[in-house]
Amino acid sequence: MIKELNLITSKGNKLRISAYFNESRFLGNLLIFVHGFKGFKDWGFGPYLADYFSNRGFLAVTFNFSHNGIGDNQQEFTELEKFAQNTFSLEISELNDLIDSIKSGVFGLELSGKIGILGHSRGGAISLFVASKRNDINGVALWASISKLDRSSDRQKSEWKKKGAIEVLNTRTKQVMRLNVSLLEDIEKNSAGSLNLENSVRNLRCPLLIAHGDQDLAVPIAEADQLYEWSDKSITEYYRIIGTGHTFGIVHPFNGSNEKFEKLLNKTANFFERNLT
């Protein structure tokens, strides 16, 4: 069963949510998938992984951040002005709002167990920021997560500040997508505090799974090495996947799974089953 839901956040923005639920197999635990930059809940492996985890007994929730560029047409980037205005701090706020709302029963979904978060790429960083500040998260899995927010050269940042925005190309859709300087300002203003990834990893008190492909060209596996270096090794697992890239061989539109992605799903499910039961 899939329930399509909307949530108005504390800042007045709309989150579009899909909740996957297998009543006969549900064990009471919640798993939230957090998409990354230029990602969305229905991209490629999103629905497939949510269905997989619901059949493993989880209430599996996917959602779109309000400013990820996806609007009512949930397959196309039609809200480019919102995309330009997005920040890390906004996404942190929205993930917290989502967790709080599900726990409060606002959607009529029964949650009697524990909570896990699965973040991909930039969504991994958001997951770490949120989980490190809460005491109700029982496990975090990172797929191809970034280890640094500042990914621009000094020259690029100078131009960004001068022009007030930079443009990035979506290689899949061929759309030119703008990022306002507010994103850079958010990173620079909070890099020593709420957006310090090293501190978030070091302060994490729940089990952590780091999974990364050794052929990732978007986020080099050296960033996974860095996350692991910062982590508490007694509660951290590191799963290096040989011969695969940033999306583990999955494309959009989804055209099927593969052996390495299935092993990643199984590894991740086993991790959450051990730590959420």
Domains of the chain: 2-149+194-276 (3.40.50.1820)
- What rounded mean pLDDT belongs to the chain? 97
pLDDT at 257 over 70: yes
Task: At 195, list the tokens.
Answer: 């957006």
- pLDDT at position 108, please? 78
N- to C-terminal Cα separation, the chain: 22
90 Cβ contact list (under 8 Å, min separation 6): 11, 13, 65, 66, 67
Give CA angle at 236 (112, 201), nearest 5°.
90
101 Cβ contact list (under 8 Å, min separation 6): 7, 107
The structure tokens 């996350």 sit at 227
pLDDT at 115 over 80: yes
51 Cβ contact list (under 8 Å, min separation 6): 20, 60
**Residues written for the chain:** 277
- pLDDT at position 105, please? 87
- Residues 105-132 have a mean pLDDT of 92
pLDDT at 16 over 90: yes
Task: Give 111's pLDDT tier (boundaries 50, 70, 90).
Answer: confident
Give SS3 for 212: strand
Whole-angstrom distance, CA of residue 49 vs CA of residue 44? 9
Contact predicate 144/135, CB 8 Å: no
Q: Which has the closest alpha carbon to 117: 143, 91, 93?
A: 143
- pLDDT at position 110, please? 67
Q: Which has the closest alpha carbon to 36: 166, 191, 223?
A: 223
To the nearest 10 degrees (0 to 180), the angle between helices 154-163 and 181-190 is 120
Query: In this predicted model, what pLDDT tens digit does every residue of 42-53 receive, in sequence order?
Result: 999 999 999 999
